[in-house]
């Protein structure tokens, strides 16, 4: 968490040396291969990683997360097709929050059940209540079992919802306050909390302690990030090109 917050504040201690911001977080040491500001841009990259794993790291799975807005991109369909043809070990997770930024799903897509688009490529796919952590966990287990058994890629469409605006410039004229309030009744964090207590997986006291620990971890990460180092102006052009290319050009 330290490196993530430092990254968002533009500090050298960030996972991308402060150059990535919130949309380009990257940490190869944990196999988190980065976000992508291009809609659908991560899909073909994930397919490349999965192809490498198929040959070099048997048993590894590449999980690719994207929103329903990405399914309108050509890269989505190209990746679906190749992933199924090559039986790549990929888990596609579409977070369908019903609005591609501010465009309602039924206006942007002729087929609003996104998982059917994957099925068109003969890829196993499910639509899951993305607001229910227990159902999500079970679906993910089924998907991983299918992939690890050599069955190729699997597609999960998670029907979910965004409680807040897409960005600070989003006036949210495409939905009502009542709609948001209705969806908040299905808050996945509250649903998981209730399920765990009701099923004796955790006690109320343990939950309070956990939240206190999380709060302390966040406070420590914020302090770390705020105390971080801004990159020198002398390094402004560094990483634009590979160091070896720069050195050869200078020579």
> CA 236, CA 230: separation in Å to the nearest integer?
11
- Mean pLDDT for each 10-residue chunk of the chain (251 residues)? 89 87 80 84 95 93 95 96 97 96 91 96 97 97 96 97 90 94 96 94 93 95 94 84 62 56
**What's the pLDDT at 251?**
56
Kindly list the structural domains of the chain, giving each domain's residue range(s) and its CATH number in brackets, ordered by start. Answer: 2-250 (3.40.50.970)
Q: Which residue has the tokens 């917050």?
A: 5
> CA 105, CA 219: separation in Å to the nearest integer?
38
The residues, ordered by sequence, that sit 6+ positions from 90 with a Cβ below 8 Å of its Cβ are 46, 47, 50, 61, 62, 63, 64, 83, 147, 153, 154
pTM of the model: 0.87
**What's the pLDDT at 17?**
86
């Amino acid at each position: 968490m330290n490196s993530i917050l430092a990254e968002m504040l533009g500090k050298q201690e960030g996972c991308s040396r402060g150059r990535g911001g919130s949309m380009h977080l990257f940490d190869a040491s944990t196999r988190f291969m980065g976000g992508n500001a291009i809609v659908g841009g991560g899909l073909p990259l994930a397919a490349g990683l999965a192809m490498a794993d198929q040959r070099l790291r048997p048993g590894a799975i590449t999980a690719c997360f994207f929103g329903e807005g990405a399914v309108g991109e050509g890269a989505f369909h190209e990746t679906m097709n190749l992933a199924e043809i090559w039986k790549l070990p990929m888990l596609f997770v579409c977070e369908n929050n019903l609005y591609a930024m501010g465009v309602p799903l039924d206006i942007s897509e002729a087929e609003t059940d996104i998982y059917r688009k994957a099925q068109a490529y003969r890829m196993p796919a499910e639509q899951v209540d993305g607001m229910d952590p227990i159902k999500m966990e079970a679906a993910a287990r089924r998907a991983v079992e299918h992939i690890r058994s050599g069955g190729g890629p699997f597609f999960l469409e998670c029907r979910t919802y965004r409680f807040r605006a897409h960005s600070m410039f989003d006036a949210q004229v495409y939905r009502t306050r009542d709609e948001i309030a209705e969806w908040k009744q299905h808050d996945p964090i509250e649903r998981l909390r209730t399920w765990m207590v009701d099923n004796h997986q955790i006690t109320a006291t343990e939950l309070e302690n956990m939240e206190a620990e999380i709060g302390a971890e966040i406070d420590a990460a914020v302090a770390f990030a705020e105390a971080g180092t801004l990159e020198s102006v002398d390094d402004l052009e560094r990483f634009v090109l590979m160091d070896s290319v720069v050195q050869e050009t200078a020579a």
